[in-house]
Amino acid sequence: MANPLIADVNEQNFQQVVLDNSHHLPVLVDFWAPWCGPCKAVMPILEQLAKDYAGLFLLAKVNIDDNQNLANQFGVRSVPTFKLVKAGQIVAELTGGQPASAFKALLDQHISRPSDALREQAQHAQQAGQTEQAIALLQQAAELDPNNHTIHLDLVNILLSTRQFEQATTLFNALPSTAQESAEGKAVTGLLHFASLAAAADDIQTIQQTLRDNANDPAALLGFASILMLHHEYEKAMQALLKLVMVANDYQDGVAKKSLLIIFDALKASHPDLVKTYRRKLQSFLF
């Protein structure tokens, strides 16, 4: 059965299918050719995304062999080339074979989801310390928009910050690999490491008292860094781990260095400057 969210486009219907529709929802234009291997490889990915996003964007396919004027008009020099059109304007583009995560990242910047308002309310509730309300709002958003895995990652983050480690791990492991391997997913993967460390640590009040008595206590520094990570206090967590490297580098088989490397990998996409700074500090101490 034909999918109304996927259209074959030519010079005759381009205005109606792409430009007119782009005033109502984003249109991803796929310039392809029958002889292009990467074009054929990426087509199932795009069709699955059109299904998953369920009406949040339109996929328009342009065969450049049959529509050379369109290809020339839009400056297509190689295939596949993808251009996202919104309100009659090209707002983003990609070229070459791409994974689903690249298309999701492109689309998510320009798509308004029904769940966005609930996610925003949940973030405000969490910032105000209303954790239970934040969780309820995210669960509601997930029911409304089950294919938006960013919602589930938000929920995992809250569960981790409230020490509900088992529930957080179970939810994360149930997500598809595309979500786990996204920049947000990798950040959560790093947090799961610190969740296991925090689960074995004392509570924050005991840790703080221990550090007041002995600022170099290895167990307290590791527990403090782990809790800071779960609350997204990334720089403070790295400071604590760097101090642990300095005072007890061999503690728990070098757990401080290993943990810093996990942070670097988890945050290199979202906090590149911070990672670069602390990678340099770690290297200067070790070498």
> Is 187 part of any domain?
no
β-pair type (27-32, 58-63): parallel
44, containing H or E segment: helix 37-53
The pLDDT value given to residue 3: 66
Are 101 and 174 contained in the same domain? no
**97: DSSP letter:** S
36 is catalytic: yes
Length of the chain, please? Answer: 287
Query: pLDDT at position 149, please?
Result: 86
Whether pLDDT at 54 is above 70: yes
What CATH number should be reported for the domain holding residue 75?
Answer: 3.40.30.10
Mean pLDDT (whole number) for 181-186: 83
Of 76, 108, 140, the domain-final residue: 108
Is the pLDDT at 1 greater than 60? The verdict is no
Q: Which residue among 6, 33, 36, 102 is the active-site one? A: 36
- In the predicted model, what is the mean pLDDT of residues 240-253? 96
What CATH number corresponds to the domain at position 145? 1.25.40.10
CA atoms of 267 and 235, how far apart (whole Å): 11
Residue 39 annotated to the active site: yes
Any domain includes 183? no
Q: Give, in order, the Cα–Cα distances in Å from 224 to each of 76, 81, 161, 256, 259.
A: 53, 48, 13, 12, 13
Instruction: Return the closest-CA partner of residue 67 out of 114, 113, 14.
Output: 14
13 and 102 in a single domain? The answer is yes
Express as a percent the part of the chain with pLDDT over 90. Answer: 73
* pLDDT the model gives residue 70: 95
Provide the residue range defining the domain that includes 90: 6-108
Catalytic residue (one of 9, 27, 39, 248): 39
In a domain, 191, yes or no: no
What domain count does the chain have? 3
